[in-house]
Amino acid sequence: MVQPGRARPKKRLGQHFLTDPNTARIVARGVTKDDIVLEVGPGRGALTTVLAAQAKLVHAVELDPDVLPVLRRTLEPYQNVLIYEGDALSFDYEALTPPPNKLVANLPYNVASPLVLRLLEEMKSLLELRFMVQLEVARRMAAARRTKDYGAYAVLVQLLAEVRVEHKVSPRVFDPPPRVWSAVVMMERRNAGGEDYERAKKLALAAFKSRRKRLVNNLPDALREEAPDALHALGYGVDARAEELGPEDFVTLARLLSGVE
């Protein structure tokens, strides 16, 4: 039963509200009074209050109008939190002033993967991203090549940031408890993107289209003729599959293939 004055989590929004203060402190680790923090999906504010006590300013973006009254009441003692109502995937983050240098959040399950990649690609001010997601999603983000979790998504986020899984999180610290474990992921930006990234992205998305096929066979016809020589220059054979290549290999391969634009 939901207590009076507390918003009920919505399954369709992927909401699992954090209830454990110690977990909130783990997620907020490293935030200082010099930081402008972006929090997406603050919910009832369990993490937001910790961030407000540590950061210079917190931009909190919440989609659910039903939770906003609870969030505002929770944050009444704090003057350094700005609350916005909006959809995480379409919100205009570039309009935030001052721009955030860190993302710290318990991300809604149903938007975490596309949101993290969008923020890495578009928000150059974000130098660190520290957040909770489902453990299986965290593993896909940090996956090493030649593993089952390694795919185009891992290539893209690892081209833009150093990625590591720092802490496993029990379902018991959420309301409602999810059916799976979660994890705290830490990302430190290493690349602002640019033309090399865009070319590598196009190539990686094509290369992983079918994991069972050779990388060459996943490429557009225009690239297949020159792909074997390019792979050989990188030390790979013509039978190489996409999961054998590291993220930086896709950058180099895209440079070698004249048809990737």
Q: Is 86 marked as binding a ligand?
A: no
**b or e along 62-74 (b: 16 or more beta carbons within 10 Å of the residue's beta carbon)?**
bbbeebbebbeeb
pLDDT in 10s for each residue of the chain, 261 residues: 233 346 665 555 556 889 999 999 999 999 999 999 999 999 999 999 999 999 999 999 999 999 999 999 999 999 999 999 999 999 999 999 999 999 999 998 889 999 999 999 999 999 999 999 999 999 999 999 999 999 999 999 999 999 999 999 999 999 889 999 999 999 999 987 899 999 999 999 999 999 889 999 999 998 999 999 999 999 999 999 999 999 999 999 999 997 776
Q: Binding residue per annotation — 18?
A: yes
Q: Which domains does the chain have, with CATH numbers?
A: 11-189 (3.40.50.150), 195-256 (1.10.8.100)
DSSP 239-261: T--GGGS-HHHHHHHHHH-TT--
Closest by CA to 108, choosing from 16, 174, 175, is 16
235 forms beta bridges with: none
Give the single-character DSSP code of 196.
Answer: H
How many other C-beta atoms can be found within 10 angstroms of the C-beta atom of residue 232?
13
Q: Is 62 annotated as a binding residue?
A: yes
Residue 16 marked as a ligand binder: yes
